[in-house]
Structure 1
Amino acid sequence: MSDDSSSPVELTRRRALGGIAMIGAASSAAGAGTMALFSDEETSGNNTVQAGTLDLSVNGDGSNAVIDVSNVVPDESGEDSTTLTNAGTLPGYLAFGITGFRTPENGVNDPESESPHEDDPEGSSSGGSHTGELAQSLELRTELVVGGETHQYLVGHEPVDGDDGFVLASNLSLGPYDIDELELSPGQSVDFVTDYRVLNAGNEIQSDSVEIEAEFGLTQEPDQITLPEQRDVPATAVGASDDQKNAGVEFEYANSFDQSLTINNVHVQPDDTDLTLVSDRNGGTDYESFTFNADLHVETPSGDANGWVDGGSDQFQVPGWIDLDSDGYNDAADQEAVLSADGTAIINLYAFRNGSGNKEEMSGNRVSVTLDVTLADGTDTFVPLVMTPD
């Protein structure tokens, strides 16, 4: 690999949530019989009751980067650590979740374009927000450390015989993570420690990056909030007319922003780990017709732009991103969706399959779907959704 490679890895805190605990006072009195009692009255002034605070600080608020690693190269490994501190006056419970991630290509130089594992053409403007190869070689393992001892592993797991607990960045789970009731006293800190390594990589990772967005919160009670805040949307299990199983999922997304947006990419994450593919098998000799003749279709109201991606005989791995702008073919079988400020889109995913390629019934199968969108003002953001199809 040439010396000019640069592959930053960054995990940022999108939002730190705090709460205010209300403090009250109660009094009681009791009397009985006809006894005469002595009494006295005094006045006490300038009394103050102040609400306590919960205030989560990341790196002393000097930076919101939880993981910040740059210029990684093949076969490199290392550790990065950040400190989370309860800077308030009340104890609080920590909450954590991963909102989404991107794997930008950041252009392709000459050595990168010549790699047999490079999927994008040569050119400084080539590649999209989920087309870089670094995530396929970057492995992560994160833990919360309190008082120098591991409290809990969040990404990956504790090393055991034959398994060191690392997971590929491309396989990160989105959504809330359970933390075992980690309570931070006022002034107490916890270290968020990440081990990373880059394995089985070559020139294809040059300039690629991995950008992960996470949320931390501090609450008065455990499980008081769920991060990220996933919107629960109604969904239906659907299929082609001759399907014995309704292996697809149809759901609605109502634009909650005050401006139009473009749906660029969709992350699909079934709870059932046996489901590993989304594909309509449209192409070759294994043709299966569906309503929209596409693996992913976004139907928008009149005046907006529909979106779709049809991988032909290809298939999309899940959990994973489906890019509406590129299915790997130079044709018209892909298009990003544009949704107006008050618009509602109908989104179809077809069909969910197991590792053998067989379709699975999706009724009652919970699925998390994250939309990677660009607002009209240029802001990029994630929209986490969750659904259990009827």
Structure 2
Amino acid sequence: MSKEFTLSRRKALAALGTVGAASAGAGLGTSAYFSDQETFENNSLVAGTLDLKAAYSVHYSDWSADELAGIDEDDVTMTDHEAEFDPGPTRVPGIEFASESDLQQFLENTLVNEDGDASCPDGTDADDLEQPVIELDDVKPGDHGEVTFDLALCDNPGYIWLQVADATVSENGYTEPERDDPDESGVETLPGEPPMDLHVELLDAVQAAYWIDDGNNYVNGDEAFQSQGSLREILGELSGIGAALEGDIPAEQGGGTGEQGCFSAGQHSIGFVWWLPVDHANEIQTDSVTFSLTFYTEQCRHNDGTGDPLTAFVNDDAPLNEQPWDGVVADRTGEDEIVVMNNALTEVNFPDEPLFGSPPQTLPLSFDPRVVRVSTGTTVTWQWQTYSDPFPDIFNGIPHNVVALDGSYSSGPPVPAATASDFSHTFTDPGVHLYFCEPHGSPHFHHSSPGVPFQEVINEAGMRGAVIVED
């Protein structure tokens, strides 16, 4: 088996093809919030800092003989390698050890990479870490891996969120065994064309979980999975603002008011484990999953722990648009009715050459303005922009809709500009109201557009927006 640990912002996880696992990196660092720890010296104001240092260790098990070196085989029991996994100090997916020391030896044997120094003040910044954390070929049913991320909050307590970006999945064609497997959902039409059913089975076959760890790379003591499910479920859960990780001190102790608690200044560890149950085989051949994990921190002091949902959602790094929002907020306060254009133009960046040839640099995959500030009671009307020469006809044929993130309103199924009708909604509640286009800004996995080099995707083109309502 080939194991490559090369620098890249993207990571892969798949089976019997170009395969890999999850990692983290690009999002580590300070946030828009800053520590307000202040001292007065010689009549000057000196602000404190909020800095995040990082390190990681990676374990991977492919059932090779050397994984049990130093362990009596009689002390090892193969368990049911199923989707549901009950963690503990003597268990990894599919294996039960007689003692905790045997598990520790197994983890030592399966350590494949580590990097970084999670210490203050001179530890490793995320951009300096070797990435991806794991990049593996030929992952098979029964394999599993684990990554422990060590994070150091320097000087001040902070909230920490785990987020995902650039999540895409691909079938990568079909092998003969995969095509014949009754669990394979893809149906190929003509040679070289994408399948009619673009459901990628690997996303549901791979299981994953994450937890707050004490740094020993396994669940023990009072530790427990914060979340467990299929990779589809976990990545969907981590999209947008992400999951608030459970801190080690009450928010009030850190000077905040958040419900999830704060992480005290110092080093903390987060574990992320994935496994591919043995009851999945041919239907996942050649499938691949690509995504990036990010840790985001904000100060606790004078902070309610809600994070920055506006930036996290609207400017979420998308596979076809790395920075969808330029930060501009259109001020329409005092107006009773305003218009937001759907099907508006934006720059796009294809990760690979799409099926239809050289990609265009601009496509109608945006709202304009993306973010608007209005007064309470304002009616917002979304109008579908239409195009004529010299723009191609396809610009009027891309289906869009408007869906509130909280489910409070929807324009209905996606429709192209050529047949769309205006959609209006009156905003009566103050706050930040987030919305998206289901095909091109979905916060969950959705079938991708024709011509792009993947089959399912979260937030394909960053087609998201927000209405900020002032009281």
Match of 1:73 in 2: 140
Match of 1:114 in 2: 180
1:230 aligns to 2:313 (yes or no):
yes
1:59-109 CA-to-partner distances (Å, cap 9, x unmatched) read 3243344665653223x1524113131263443321222335211122333
Indicate if the aligned counterparts of 1:298 and 1:308 stay in contact, CA closer than 8 A: no
Alpha-carbon deviation of 1:169?
2.1
SS in 2 for 1:175: coil
1:21 aligns to 2:84 (yes or no):
no
What is the percent sequence identity of the aligned residues? Answer: 14
Indicate if the aligned counterparts of 1:54 and 1:219 stay in contact, CA closer than 8 A: no
Match of 1:193 in 2: 272
Q: Which amino acid aligns with 1:185?
A: A
Match of 1:9 in 2: 21
Superposed, 1:144-183 pairs within 5 Å as 144-146=212-214, 153-156=225-228, 166-169=229-232, 172-173=236-237, 174-176=239-241, 177-179=243-245, 180-183=260-263
Alpha-carbon deviation of 1:18?
0.6
1:252 aligns to 2:334 (yes or no):
no
2:463 and 2:275 map into 1 onto residues whose CA distance is 26
Alpha-carbon deviation of 1:298?
7.4
Superposed, 1:305-316 pairs within 5 Å as 305-308=395-398
Alpha-carbon deviation of 1:12?
4.2
Superposed, 1:1-390 pairs within 5 Å as 5-19=17-31, 20-21=34-35, 23-26=37-40, 51-59=48-56, 60=116, 61=126, 62-65=129-132, 70-74=137-141, 76-86=142-152, 88-99=154-165, 101-116=167-182, 117-121=184-188, 127=194, 131-146=199-214, 153-156=225-228, 166-169=229-232, 172-173=236-237, 174-176=239-241, 177-179=243-245, 180-186=260-266, 188-198=267-277, 200-221=279-300, 223=305, 225-226=307-308, 229-231=312-314, 252=342, 260-262=361-363, 300-302=386-388, 303=391, 305-308=395-398, 349-350=412-413, 371=440, 383=462, 385=464
1:93 and 1:4 map into 2 onto residues whose CA distance is 39
Residues 254/194 of structure 1: CA separation in 2 closer, same or farther (3 Å cut):
farther
2:150 and 2:461 map into 1 onto residues whose CA distance is 24
Structure 1 unaligned regions, length at least 5: 28-43, 157-165, 234-249, 265-296, 311-318, 320-346, 352-361
1:183-240 CA-to-partner distances (Å, cap 9, x unmatched) read 1423x1312222423354332211211123333112212526336711399xxxxxxx
Indicate if the aligned counterparts of 2:159 and 2:299 stay in contact, CA closer than 8 A: yes
1:156-205 CA-to-partner distances (Å, cap 9, x unmatched) read 2xxxxxxxxx335267333222332241423x131222242335433221
2:342 and 2:223 map into 1 onto residues whose CA distance is 39
Residues 258/367 of structure 1: CA separation in 2 closer, same or farther (3 Å cut):
closer
Match of 1:240 in 2: none
Residues 168/52 of structure 1: CA separation in 2 closer, same or farther (3 Å cut):
closer
1:263 and 1:155 map into 2 onto residues whose CA distance is 37
Residues 142/299 of structure 1: CA separation in 2 closer, same or farther (3 Å cut):
farther
Alpha-carbon deviation of 1:140?
1.8
TM-score, normalised to structure 1's length? 0.50
Deviating more after overlay: 253-262 vs 138-147: 253-262
1:338-368 CA-to-partner distances (Å, cap 9, x unmatched) read xxxxxxxxx95428xxxxxxxxxx9999866
2:291 and 2:37 map into 1 onto residues whose CA distance is 37
Indicate if the aligned counterparts of 1:142 and 1:193 stay in contact, CA closer than 8 A: yes
By percentage of residues, which structure has more helix? 2
Q: Which amino acid aligns with 2:27?
A: R
Who wins on radius of gyration, i.e. which is larger?
Answer: 1
Indicate if the aligned counterparts of 1:99 and 1:382 stay in contact, CA closer than 8 A: no
2:26 and 2:276 map into 1 onto residues whose CA distance is 24
1:263 and 1:231 map into 2 onto residues whose CA distance is 17
Q: How many residues align?
A: 264
2:27 and 2:50 map into 1 onto residues whose CA distance is 17
1:220-272 CA-to-partner distances (Å, cap 9, x unmatched) read 12526336711399xxxxxxxxxxxxxxxx983655659844479xxxxxxxx
Q: Which amino acid aligns with 1:63?
A: E
Match of 1:332 in 2: none
1:109 and 1:4 map into 2 onto residues whose CA distance is 10
By percentage of residues, which structure has more strand? 1
